[in-house]
Amino acid sequence: MRAGKPDPRGGKTATSDLEERHDVQGRQQGDRYVRIVRPFQNEFQRKSAGHLVATEEVLAPTSAPGRLADRARRLLFGARIPTAHEIQERVGKAKGLAVFASDNISSSAYATEEIMRVLLLAGLGTMAALTLPITLVIIAVLAIVVLSYQQTIRAYPNGGGSYIVASDNLGPFPGLTAAGALLTDYVLTVSVSIAAGVAALTSIFPELFDARVALGVAFVAVLAIGNMRGIRESATIFAVPTYIYLVAIFGLLAYGLFRAATGTLPEYSAPQAWRDAAAVEPLGILLVLRAFASGSVALTGVEAVSNGVPAFKPPEWRNAQVVLILMGSFFGAIFLGMSLLAGQLGIVPDPSEQETVVSQLTRTLVGAGSPFHYLVQISTALLLVLAANTAFADFPRLSSILARDRFMPHYFQFRGDRLAFTTGIVALALLSAVLIFAFGGSVTHLIPLYTIGVFVAFTLSQSGMVRHWWKLRGTEQGWRWRAGLNALGAVATAIVAVVVGVAKFALGAWMVLVLIPALIALIWAINRHYRKVEDALTLDRPDAALPRRAAPRVLVLLARLDRASLEALGYARSIAPLVTAVHVTDDPAEAERMRARWRQLDVDGDTDLVILESPYRALIPPLLAYIDALQAQDPERPITVVLSEFIPRRPWEYLLHNQAALRLKLRLFFRPNTVVIDVPYHV
C-alpha cells in the first residue's frame, strides 16, 4: 500500500480513521451500540450489552398515508399487543360450555333437517317413519363418543387434540392423518356453519335469499377480521348467544311437547310443490345409511372440549368433563326433541332451501313473524357464526403446532400485531369462502364433504387412547375397562366414517377422500424438505470458527459510463482490493468509444476495464463464460458481480429500466460461489 493513498478496503481517510478508532474504543467499553442508539432512545431500550428491545415507536409510520393506513388498521384490528402481555383467560363451567359447545350444539340447527331431506327422497311416509329412529341411533353414538372423550380429557390435561393423541400413541403418520382430517374439517365447519347461519336468517328475511353467497362470504370476512383482532380472548361474547339459544330452543321444545301431549298441536301443511318433490328414489339400505351419514353431522365439535382442557379453571380436567357431559346432554335433548316434534307436526323440508325445518317448526308453533320466531332464528344464526368462530381459533392453532413441528411452512407460526396467527386465519377464510362460493351457499350440498374428516379424526384419536391405556397397563388401575370404552368409541366412529364414505361417496365425499391423502402427502413433503435442509445446514460443532474468506473478485457490469455506474464502481472499490469493470457490447465502434471514455476517466491502478465484444448480440452468455474463466483460474475465490440499478421514482418507470439486469440476476442466482450486489442509484 503506497503511503498517502487511502486504503481501498478500509476506506480510511484521515476522518474515517478517527471514526474507526472511536468505534473500536466504544466496542472495548462494551457499550458501542448503546451509544449509537442514544439519539433514538424512543425506539430502543437497552437490556444488556448488545441486546436492545424495540419499543412500539419503531412501528410508527413516518409518511402521511402510512399514518392514515396505520390508524385504519388500529380501528379495524385494535392496538398492537406485545408478546409478554398474552393473557391466558381461564373459564369455568358456565363460560366453558359457551366457548367449547357452540360448535356441537349449533349442529342441532340442521342435523334433523338433513336426515329428513334424505329420507324424503323415498317418500313422506318413509320420512315420518325413520327420522326418529335414526336420530336415536346417532344419539347413542354421541353418548359413546362423549364417554370415550371423558377419558381423553383425564389423560391429556394439557389438551388432547386428535393430532396430539394420535401422534403420541400411534406414531407420526396416523398423527398427520388426524391433522389432515382436522384441517379439512375446520374449513368445512366454517363453510357449513356460516351457510346454515345464513339459512336461518333467510328463513325470516326471504328477500336475502338471493344474496346468500355474498352474505356467507361477508360473515367469513367479519370472522377473519375479528380473529385478527383476537376476539378469542373474551369468553363473555360467546356466553350470551349460546345461552339465549339454549333458553329459546328449550322453551320452544317444551311448549311444543306440551301441545303434543295435550293433543293441541296446530295444523301444518306443506305446499303441494314440496310434497311433489318427494318419493323419487326407492327405499333401500343405502338411502337409510345416507340419512344416518347426514345426521351424524351432529357429532361435529365434540373434540373441542378435550382440545381446550388447559383453558379451564382448576381442576381443569374435572370442569372439562362436566362441560362435555352437559354439552352432550343438551345437544342430545334438542336433537331428539326437534326430530320428535318435526315428525308430530309432519314438517316437510323446503326443496329450495329457502326456509329451514327449525323455522317451519317454530313458525307453526308460535306463528310466523311473532317475536319468538325472530328470537329463535336470530339466536340460531348467531350461534352458528360462533360455531364457525371456534374453527377460526382451532385451525390457526393446529397449523401453528404443525408449523412448529415443521409439517407446515414457517409462516403459519408467525403471530401478528394482536397475537393472532395471521396466516392460518387468512388461509382458513379463503378456503371456506371458496367452498361457500363453489357450493352456492347450500348446507345440503356441503354436508356430504363435512363429516368424513371428523370421524377419521375421532377414530384415530380413540384408537390412540386404546394404545395409551395398553402402555399404562402396569400402573393404571382399571386400564382394561378404560381401553374397552375407548375401543368401543373407536369402533363406533370407524363404522360411521366408513358409512359416510360409502353412502356419500358420489355426492362429494370422494373429494375429501382425495383431499386428505393429498394434504398428508403435502405435509409430509414439507416436513421431509425441512428435515433435509436442517441436516444440510446444522453446524457440525457448536464451537465452529467464523470463516475467513478470501476477498472476492469483483466485476462491475458497466452499460454506460454515468453517475450510476460510477456509484457502483465506488462501492465495488470499497469492498475489494481489485475491481474489474466489464462492458459487453455488440458493436466494435461502441467498444472503442467506451475504451476512449474510460481512458479519459481519472482511474487509479486498482481498477481495469475489460470489454467483451458479443458479435451475436447476447449479453448474458459472454459474461457467464468470462466468469467461468475467472473462476477456473482461482476456484476458491468467490466471484462478486456488482450491478448498478437505477431506481426510478414511479413504479411504471421500472418497465423502462433494468430488464437486462433482472435476467442476469436470475441466472447468477443459481451459480454456486457467486454473489450479486445491486447498487441502487436513487435520482
Q: Binders of its own copies among 646-665, rule CB under 8 A? A: 646-648, 653, 655-657, 659
Total binding residues toward its own copies, as defined by CB under 8 A: 140
Q: Shortest approach of its own copies to residue 2 CB, angstroms? A: 13
Long-range contacts at 593-600 (CB < 8 A, ≥ 24 apart): 594/558, 594/561, 597/561, 598/561
275 binds its own copies (CB under 8 A): no
Strands 639-647 and 607-613 come out as unpaired
The answer to whether 20 contacts its own copies (rule: CB under 8 A) is yes
Among the listed residues 56, 142, 192, 472, the single contact to its own copies using CB under 8 A: 56
Please choose, out of 35-43, 149-157, 224-232, 512-520, the segment that lies near its own copies by the rule CB under 8 A. Answer: 35-43
Mention every residue, 6+ apart, whose C-beta is less than 8 A from residue 481: none
Contact positions with its own copies (CB under 8 A) in 348-367: none
Judged by DSSP in three states, 550 sits in coil
Contacts to its own copies from residues 422-481, by CB under 8 A: none
**Cα–Cα distance between 311 and 213 in angstroms, integer?**
35
Residues 544-563 that bind its own copies (CB under 8 A): 544-552, 560-563
Beta carbon nearer to its own copies, 478 or 615? 615
Among 75, 285, 506, 536, binds its own copies (CB under 8 A): 536
Cell of 299: 357429532
Give the nearer residue to its own copies in terms of CB position, either 277 or 630: 630
Q: Which is nearer to its own copies, 56 or 276 (CB)?
A: 56
Q: What is the DSSP letter of 267?
A: P
C-beta separation of 298 from 327 below 8 A: no
* 628 counts as binding its own copies under rule CB under 8 A: yes
Decide: is 240 part of the binding site for its own copies (CB under 8 A): no
Region binding its own copies by CB under 8 A among candidate stretches 75-83, 173-181, 493-501, 504-512? 75-83
Stretch that binds its own copies, among 36-44, 214-222, 382-390, 483-491 (CB under 8 A): 36-44
Nearest CA among 357, 300, 361, 365 for reference residue 118: 357
Contact stretch for its own copies (CB under 8 A) within 78-86, 163-171, 377-385, 479-487: 78-86
**Residue 273 in grid coordinates:** 310443490
CB of 387 to its own copies, least distance (A): 29
Identify the DSSP state of 651. Answer: G
Does 14 interact with its own copies (rule: CB under 8 A)? no
Which one of 93, 270, 530, 667 is in contact with its own copies (CB under 8 A)? 530
- Determine the Cα–Cα distance for residues 322 and 305; give it in Å rounded to an integer: 10
Q: Is 344 exposed, middle or buried (0-12, 13-18, 19+ CB in 10 A)?
A: middle
579 contacts 573 by C-beta, under 8 angstroms: yes
Instruction: Decide if residue 33 touches its own copies (CB under 8 A).
Output: yes
When asked if residue 13 is in the footprint of its own copies (CB under 8 A), the reply is yes
Q: Does 71 bind its own copies (CB under 8 A)?
A: no
676 binds its own copies (CB under 8 A): yes
Q: What is the CA radius of gyration of the chain?
A: 34
Interaction residues for its own copies, span 403-422 (CB under 8 A): 409-411, 414-417
Residue type at 351 in one-letter notation: P
Q: Is-cis flag, bond preceding 315, omega within 30?
A: yes
Among 3, 14, 84, 261, binds its own copies (CB under 8 A): 84
Long-range Cβ pairs for the range 437-440 (8 Å, 24+): 437/213, 437/217, 439/191, 439/195, 440/212, 440/213
Out of 21, 29, 57, 440, point to the residue binding its own copies (CB under 8 A).
Answer: 57
The answer to the question of residue 21 lying near its own copies (CB under 8 A) is no
Residue 622 found at the interface with its own copies (CB under 8 A): yes
Only segment of 167-175, 361-369, 451-459, 523-531 that touches its own copies (CB under 8 A): 523-531
- Which region, judged by CB under 8 A, interacts with its own copies, from 161-169, 451-459, 471-479, 584-592? 584-592
570 near its own copies (CB under 8 A)? yes
524 binds its own copies (CB under 8 A): no
- Give the H/E segment covering residue 137: helix 124-155
User: Does 638 sit near its own copies (CB under 8 A)?
Assistant: yes
- State the residue for C-alpha cell 333401500: 284
> What secondary structure, in 3-state letters, does 270-290 show?
CCHHHHHCCCCCCCCHHHHHH
Q: Does 6 bind its own copies (CB under 8 A)?
A: yes
Please, which residues have CB within 8 angstroms of residue 677's CB and are 6 or more apart in sequence? 571, 572, 640, 641, 642, 643
